[in-house]
């Protein structure tokens, strides 16, 4: 039976067919006519060809063709996709098994991260400064909508409330929550508010450096400046704070492995690049493993949830592998 493999290789070389994988449908369109396949001058019955592929192939795990199971040499590698094969060789099969195993591990890590994303539980709170009331929303999306509307408002007073709410929400689990919120309210200037308003005009998303340059109280480092950016554009941006920086030790080849932390995450040239790459990594994870079902901020919140739940080793392992 090995002659069908030999003839296929010869045909591939003649026709310049360079794909590592192929489907039976693709081969049939190239070589079959009226129920007969002609491969490199050799005729094969159409049903017989399909039987050969089924019986003389090996795949992931226990997917072994009947003839191979009985001791025959394999001719093809059976992939997970329906009716998809490649030419067998020991090296190709070793590489295939490695990639299959890595794919299985990636799916496991993606599942763990998705569970964390779905169970993100940071308090969905904000403050209504107009009537001096603490508000707990049903959904985090409500908090996002309110704070973004405040940050991008025409009224300087509303912008001020939006910035204060970033501080208020970000310190939800801290005993000094209102102290820091009031500190911003009492010391931010109208000039700083106007400058911020100009930064976000027409839907513009400011950089960390641009926000830092305003020297607004409570917004001196990446931790809280990135919260502003994430509220403005949660689809493409996320938070990078000290808790998330703990992912770094297990990820030397990832963005956070380059993060420079000294008391706080300073807005340095290196850290600004790290933040950009961190957002891109979260976007890549969403696209690769979740078909873009989740925003960049949602992926980040999944990692945050794991660390907050004392699952740092798991979070580090997921970050290192996805």
Please tell me the least confidently modeled range out of 48-62, 199-213, 271-285. Answer: 48-62
**Per-residue H/E/C for 161-217:** HHHHHHHHHHCCCCCCHHHHHHHHHHHCCHHHHHHHHHHCHHHCCCCHHHHHCCCCC
Digit-coded pLDDT (tens) for 202-215: 999 999 999 999 99
Quick: pLDDT tens for 120-170. Answer: 999 999 999 999 999 999 999 999 999 999 999 999 999 999 999 999 999
Is the pTM higher than 0.85? The answer reads: no
**Lowest mean pLDDT across 26-40, 56-70, 191-205:** 56-70
Residue 239 has pLDDT above 70, yes or no: yes
Q: In the 8-state DSSP scheme, what is residue 262?
A: B
Q: Which residues of 203-229 are buried (b: 16+ CB within 10 A; e: fewer)?
A: eeebbbebbbebebbbbebbbbbbbbb
Confidence check: pLDDT of 62 > 80 = no
State the residue for tokens 């449908």: 25
| pLDDT attached to residue 26 | 85
């Amino acid at each position: 039976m090995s002659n069908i493999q030999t003839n296929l290789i010869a045909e591939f070389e003649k026709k310049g067919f360079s794909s590592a994988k192929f489907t039976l449908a693709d081969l049939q369109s190239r070589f079959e006519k009226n129920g007969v396949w002609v491969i490199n001058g050799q005729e094969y019955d159409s049903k017989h060809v399909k039987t050969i592929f089924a019986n003389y192939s090996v795949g992931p795990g226990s997917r072994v063709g009947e003839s191979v199971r009985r001791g025959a040499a394999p001719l093809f590698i059976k992939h997970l996709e329906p009716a998809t094969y490649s030419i067998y060789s020991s090296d190709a099969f070793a590489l295939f098994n490695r990639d299959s195993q890595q794919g299985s591990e990636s799916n496991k890590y993606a599942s763990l991260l998705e569970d964390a994303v779905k169970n993100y539980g940071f308090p969905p709170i904000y403050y209504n400064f107009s009537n001096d009331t603490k508000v707990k929303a049903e959904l985090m999306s409500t908090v996002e909508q309110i704070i973004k509307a405040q940050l991008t408002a025409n009224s300087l007073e509303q912008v001020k409330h939006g910035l204060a709410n970033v501080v208020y929400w970000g310190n939800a689990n801290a005993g000094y929550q209102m102290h820091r919120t009031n500190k911003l309210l009492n010391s931010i200037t109208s000039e700083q508010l106007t400058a911020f308003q100009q930064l976000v005009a027409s839907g513009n998303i400011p950089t960390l450096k641009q926000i830092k340059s305003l020297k607004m109280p409570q917004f001196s480092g990446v931790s809280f400046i990135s919260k502003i950016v994430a509220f403005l554009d949660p689809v493409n941006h996320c938070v990078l704070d000290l808790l998330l920086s703990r992912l770094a030790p297990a990820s030397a080849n990832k963005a956070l492995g380059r993060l420079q932390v000294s008391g706080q995450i300073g807005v340095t040239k290196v850290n600004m690049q790290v933040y950009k790459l961190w957002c891109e990594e979260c976007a890549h994870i969403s696209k690769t493993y979740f078909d873009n079902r989740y925003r960049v901020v949602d992926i980040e919140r999944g990692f945050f949830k794991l660390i907050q739940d004392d699952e740092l080793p798991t979070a580090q392992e997921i970050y290192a592998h996805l």
